[in-house]
Structure 1
Amino acid sequence: MHIDAWIESVPPTAVYALIGLIIGLESLGIPLPGEIALVTASLMAVKGVVSPWGVAACAIAGAIIGDSIGYSIGRKGGKPLFEKLGRKFPKHFGPSHLATAERSFQKWGMWAVFFGRFIALLRIFAGPLAGALKMPYWKFLIANVLGGVVWAGGTTLLVYKVGKSIEPWLARFSYVGLGAAVVVGLTSAWVMKRRAAKAHAKMEAEEAAAGQAAPAE
């Protein structure tokens, strides 16, 4: 059963907790389809099954709390935590992925947390990596709250408003909306993987050059 069908199968009152949990775990650093879950719940709000404000509130809470827990874990575990995860889950936490995410933090600082909320793979890195890099918590919290509100709240209300405006074609729109969410997620993942591959190749080239220079010295 796909996650969208699973969410639609649970009682309406449980949808709020489920959305908060899925997005919270994704923000914590566990790769889950948070965007698809959020779009699914928003479409349920269009049908009147749940409240859009309830979905938005739970999604925002899950995003902020999950990121904050991830920050605490990253601050305690440091970079060795990512090295350990990279060995166990190379597809999600490999050295090349970490290098790409770290470059984003070096370039954007606290705003990497904010912008990372909108990029599938970076979203699972933002909290733990901010903690591992010892970013001051007040900076992290500002970007975390802003990112959570804009991404989770904005996505919910956008899907709800659009869905209401074309409610007669809702059955068709549900597939279009979910399809669009999947495309966005896959595109983000593809872009991040390409950048990660380039970063990894650069690291290997630098290590090889350093290895050749060492004997000469």
Structure 2
Amino acid sequence: MIDHGLFHQLMTAYGLWALFGIVMLESMGLPLPGETALVSAALYAGATGHFQLWEVIAVAFAAAVTGDTCGYWIGRTLGFRLLARYGRHVRITEDRLKIGRYLFRRHGGKIVFFGRFVALLRVLAALLAGANRMPWPRFAVMNAAGGLAWAASFATAAYVFGDRVSKVEGPIAIGLLVLVGVGIAFALFSAHRYEKQTLARILAEEAEADGCR
């Protein structure tokens, strides 16, 4: 994990290219601290005046869209084949692949948009969208909207409130960790039942579609 002090050194040495590289690679699927990089870049801009706020937002937005676009096409060209062939080794069955495609068909836009604000989904959303054949125009629109909202909100908050962001970052992270833990526990509790219900719905829709032909 890159802390704010180390990232300030990167900014001094490489400028906004450091921000672009970290956010883009995270968006492509690598577990890098893109959000920390964005906040640190905004703090650096506010403290030194070397960059304008709009430049930080523009670079983070461009990096997010570029990385997610690459991640989407990686997922679309390679992801589904790999999941279909090797997914059974990690409990990803053909039925679960059907469920994934169904969820992205129904809720893909929300997953892509709000996934930009959640660490794990920020890394995986584009790959999953591509692997589950989410239509490219819808992905592109929701990806751009999510990237802009994420870059603008986090960068502006860090730039305006300065070091106060760093002081609350720890408690907020702990609170989010607790919420994520509760969410995972609930998801594990309800996933099996929801999976059966969703698969039954998919099979019923497929049967209805076959009957209409």
- Return the TM-score normalized by structure 1: 0.71
SS across alignment from 2:134:
coil
Partner of 1:215: none
Structure 2 distance, partners of 1:174, 1:201, is 39
Structure 1: segments with no counterpart, 5+ residues: 164-169, 207-217
1:118 CA drift (Å): 1.1
Partner of 1:30: 30
- Return the TM-score normalized by structure 2: 0.72
Structure 2: segments with no counterpart, 5+ residues: 198-213
Partner of 1:76: 77
My pick for the range that moved more, 183-192 or 70-79, is 183-192
Partner of 1:214: none
C-alpha contact 2:21 2:63 (8 A) present in aligned 1: yes
Structure 2 distance, partners of 1:103, 1:182, is 32
1:127 CA drift (Å): 0.6
Partner of 1:136: 135
> What's the RMSD between the two structures over aligned residues?
3.5
C-alpha contact 1:41 1:55 (8 A) present in aligned 2: yes
- Give matches, 1:64-213, under 5 Å: 64-82=65-83, 105=104, 107-163=106-162, 170=163, 173=164, 175-179=166-170, 182-183=173-174, 186-187=177-178, 189-190=180-181, 193-194=184-185, 197-198=188-189
Partner of 2:57: 56
Percent of paired sites with the same residue: 34
| Total equivalences in the alignment | 192
C-alpha contact 2:109 2:138 (8 A) present in aligned 1: yes
C-alpha contact 2:104 2:134 (8 A) present in aligned 1: no
Structure 2 distance, partners of 1:136, 1:68, is 13
Change (3 A) 1:71 1:107: same
C-alpha contact 2:105 2:134 (8 A) present in aligned 1: no
- Cα deviations by residue, 1:71-109 (Å, 9 ceiling, x for unpaired): 00000013343576997xx8xxx85xx989878635522
Structure 2 distance, partners of 1:190, 1:134, is 29
